Amino acid sequence: PTSESFKYHSTCIPKMPFTTQLRTISRPFIQQSHLFKQTSIRMSSTNQYGQGASHATGQSAVPNKVQEAAPKGLEESLPESVHPTGSNPNSQSTSKTHALNDGEDSVVPKKIQEIVPESVERGKSSPQLSPQHWRQTHTQSIMASATAADIQGPSHANPEGLNTSASTQFPPINIGTRNSVLAQIQARAVERNLKDAYPDRTFNICPVVVQGDRDKITPLQQLSQGENAKSLWTGELESMLESGDLDIIVHCLKDMPTQLPDHLEIGAILEREDPRDALLISPRLPKETTLATLPQGATIGTSSVRRAATLRKLYPHLKFADLRGNVGTRLAKLDAEDSPYSAIILAAAGLKRMGLDNRITQYLSSTSGGMLHAVGQGALGIEIRKNDKAMKDIMSGIRCERTTRACSAERALLRTLEGGCSVPIGVETSWRGGKGLAIGTQPAKDYDKHGNAVEEEEPDIDDQELVLSAMVVSVDGKEFVEYQAARKVRTAEEAEEMGQEVAKVLIEKGADKILEKINVEKQWAAKKQLEELRAKAASS
């Protein structure tokens, strides 16, 4: 079928195969004459998967609010500059396939090709449906689980729409997530862990557009003012969780407030991906370029106050400009012929999950580039209701104890400093003892110079010390305080106590004065922006 025959109506997205850590978005089903007819996914004229098969895993029970809040299509864009995994990012590739939203062809890595069917094209959206039509469609639809064999083989879906497997004995678990491709990949990571632990359960992925995704222009430092700072990426999702429309929410832990609503809590934290930041350079520069070798006056694009402040301290010869948007948008802006950016900085974890780590020029850490990462960076947190005992029991089956203890220390430090995700507070946690130091909270993994994980025998966590480094720096990079502590922490509660104590030492060193000054500057900037908007409205 052509792309026009593919209509993206699905709110909670059926399951698709994983490639390494990639979690993909699958094809939906369309109700036709009381049957469900599956359309095949056509990725490009030179890369066609062929017709796939569906395996019904039970009826979808998607709440009405989820159906109505979910977007009609995907907003994440994949730029022309995204290079196939393993290719030289400075070379030209001729293999093109459609991306998502901005109307341009894109060179898409193989992993990314599995994310989006060609028909979910840039600039196209699903037809407008009434709430009644949404409810009728989604409460009757089949949630299919596709595999690589399914994609290559003939379709043998059950047209009656019901499956008598054990999974129908339990209610489906609705997993809330932000709408971006990366967020849905992360939700798939959680879904796979849950499915491995509980194969008899059915899971629905429910994407929702949140406040922070609606405004892609305003700098984060100004957007995250007052109460907005606590709910910029989570508010809508948490409201739906509290009301029962969602059962769990998947968050990138660095975007998750340290103070949660009274009736909600973190149910589990999964094993952490690489927590470091990553430098990506313009194709116009030599591929071996690092922060230290960027030319005088080179501009780095970043929306992170922490990254810009830290680099101003370490590399005063560089300039910084605000850069908003999803990963694809940022890469497109970096690679444009008239781009003002010489480099951009993104989280390594997101790039790896999307299969774009081939674009990374330098991994940044305390020993490489002098950069500490954000609190919770690289980790996925699952938010649940406090009174949901059944869900607490389920979460215990996928929790990573090492990551939980490390991130508990980081989040307690941030909470004590009363900082949000948009203040310049950097941390780095590692485990010491046994077979040595490994960055990223996973002592069984160290990273070589290319960022690849090197497996080692895992020592007992209770025999190791947690090392917590932290730094608070002023926006201009001229003032900073830092501190490092190490101790054994045998529970998440002990890790929280450690984080609180490190924060108190930082306060004694003057961190509170730096943060107070930053808050005043943020309020002044927000007030100035409001005045400019009012003046513009008055003149028009």
* Residue 463 bears catalytic tag: no
* Phi/psi at 309 (5° precision): -65, -45
Q: In this structure, what token pair is assigned to residue 317?
A: 């010869």
In 3D space, the residue among 338, 329, 339 whose CA is nearest the CA of residue 300 turns out to be: 339
Tell me the C-alpha distance between 254 and 251, whole Å.
8
Tell me the C-alpha distance between 336 and 79, whole Å.
10
Q: Yes or no: say if 425 and 306 are a contact pair by the CB < 8 Å rule.
A: yes
Tell me the C-alpha distance between 362 and 379, whole Å.
20
Which candidate in 255, 274, 277, 335 is catalytic? 255
Q: In this structure, what token pair is assigned to residue 362?
A: 């330098």
Q: H-type helices in 379-510, by residue range?
A: 389-395, 401-417, 492-508
Kindly give, in sequence order, each residue whose CB lies less than 8 Å from that of residue 385, ignoring residues fewer than 6 positions away.
241, 242, 263, 264, 265, 391
Q: How far is CA 125 from CA 7, 142, 222, 313, 335, in A?
A: 9, 22, 30, 44, 26
**Sign of the alpha-carbon dihedral angle for 289, 294, 299, 300:** positive
Would you mind telling me the total number of residues written for the chain in this entry? Answer: 540
* Phi/psi at 290 (5° precision): -125, 180
Burial of 33 (0-12, 13-18, 19+ CB in 10 A): exposed
Q: Yes or no: say if 216 and 33 are a contact pair by the CB < 8 Å rule.
A: no
Kindly give, in sequence order, each residue whose CB lies less than 8 Å from that of residue 338, ignoring residues fewer than 6 positions away.
none
Kindly give, in sequence order, each residue whose CB lies less than 8 Å from that of residue 370, ignoring residues fewer than 6 positions away.
310, 314, 364
First to last CA, the chain: 48
Beta pairing class for 18-19 and 35-38:
unpaired
Q: How far is CA 34 from CA 28, 136, 137, 147, in A?
A: 16, 11, 10, 25
Beta pairing class for 22-23 and 18-19:
antiparallel
Tell me the C-alpha distance between 471 and 477, whole Å.
11
Question: DSSP code of 477?
Answer: S
Tell me the C-alpha distance between 365 and 181, whole Å.
26
Longest CA pairwise span in the chain (Å): 70
In 3D space, the residue among 22, 17, 3 whose CA is nearest the CA of residue 117 turns out to be: 3
Number of Cβ within 10 Å of residue 501's Cβ equals: 18
In 3D space, the residue among 100, 201, 184 whose CA is nearest the CA of residue 145 turns out to be: 201
Q: Mind telling me the catalytic residues?
A: 255
